[in-house]
Structure 1
Amino acid sequence: MKKYTFSKEERLCSKRLIDDLFHNGSSFVVYPFRLMYRNTSETLPSKAQAIISVSKRRFKHAVTRNRLKRLLRECYRLEKPFFYDNLSDYSLHLLLAIQYIGKEELPFVELHAKMKILLEKLSHELASSNLGKRD
C-alpha cells in the first residue's frame, strides 16, 4: 500500500540546507514549475525533502499564493509515492525546491498533470546523471 502523505519529515525547513540547495543545486523547468534539486550526503529522515514556493512578485495577494501552494502540495503528495518508487533503486537523499513560475492560476487537473511530468523528468535526470549511481 502506498503512503500518500506529506509529513513534517518530508518538508525542507533547514535554512542551511535550503541555502545549499539554492547555491549548489541543479534545475530545470517544466512550465509552470521550476525544480531545483540537489543530492545531499546528509542522512535525511526521508528519501527527499521538498519546499514549495510561489512568487510574491507574480501573485500579490496572499490568498492566491496560499491557494496555489496548497494545490501544489496536494499534487506533490499524490505523485510522491511513484517518485519514491523510482528513487528506491538508488541510495539518494534529495533536496527539492518546487517553484511556481506561471503567470496565472491554473486548474488542479492541469497542475497535477504537470507535476507528474516534472517528477518523471527528475527521475530521468537522476538516472542519466552521476547522481543516480547504483549501490
Structure 2
Amino acid sequence: MQTFKKEERLCNKRLIDGLYHNGSSFLCYPFKVSWLVIEQPQPAPAQVVFTVAKKRYKHAVDRNLLKRRMREAYRLHKQEQLYNFLEQTGKTIILSVSYIGKEISEYAFIDKKMQKLFTQLCEGLAK
C-alpha cells in the first residue's frame, strides 16, 4: 500500500534528539541520512522526518517543493525496498533524510537517489 500516514512521520522531539545524538549517518548525495534502531514498539516499521536547510534555501516554497518531492519518492519505494527488509529482520527504525544539494533537483533525480539511499540503508542495517 503506497501511503504516507501520520504514524510513519517522526514528530516526537525526544526521539529526534536521540536520533541526532546517538544515531548513525551516511551521505548519499543529495541526501544526508541519520538512522537509529529503536527497541520500543512503534506504530510503523520506520518513522521518518524530512528536512531542508533554511540557510541554503531562503524561500519556503523551495523548501516545501523539495520536501514534497522527497516524500513522494519515499512513499513510492518504501514498501518493497525498506519495509520488507525491516519486517524480515524484525527491526524498527527512526530516520532523518536531510536535503544537502546545492540546487533544486528534478523529481526523477530525487527518485533515483532515494532508491540508492534505501539500498545503502539496508546494507547499514544488515551489519
Whether TM-score is above 0.5 comes out as yes
Cα distance in 1, alignment partners of residues 64 and 109 from structure 2: 18
- Consecutive aligned runs of 4 or more in structure 1 exceeding 6 Å deviation: none
**Which residue in the other structure is 1:80 paired with?**
78
Match among 62, 76, 81 for residue 64 of structure 1: 62
Alignment length (residue pairs): 126
Identity between Structure 1 and Structure 2 (%)? 46
CA offsets, 1:91-125, max 9 Å, x none? 11100000000010000000000000001110111
Distance 2:77 2:101 in 1: 20
Q: Measure how far apart 1:86 and its partner are.
A: 1.6
- Consecutive unaligned residues of structure 1, counting only runs of 5 or more, are 130-135
Show structure 2 runs of 5+ residues with no match.
none
Q: Are 1:121 and 2:124 an aligned pair?
A: no
Q: Distance in 2 between matches of 1:44 and 1:88?
A: 13
Q: Which residue of 2 aligns with 1:43?
A: 41
The alignment's TM-score, normalised by the length of structure 1, stands at 0.91
TM-score between both structures, scaled by the size of structure 2: 0.97
Per-residue deviation at 1:69? Answer: 0.5
Root-mean-square deviation (Å) = 0.6
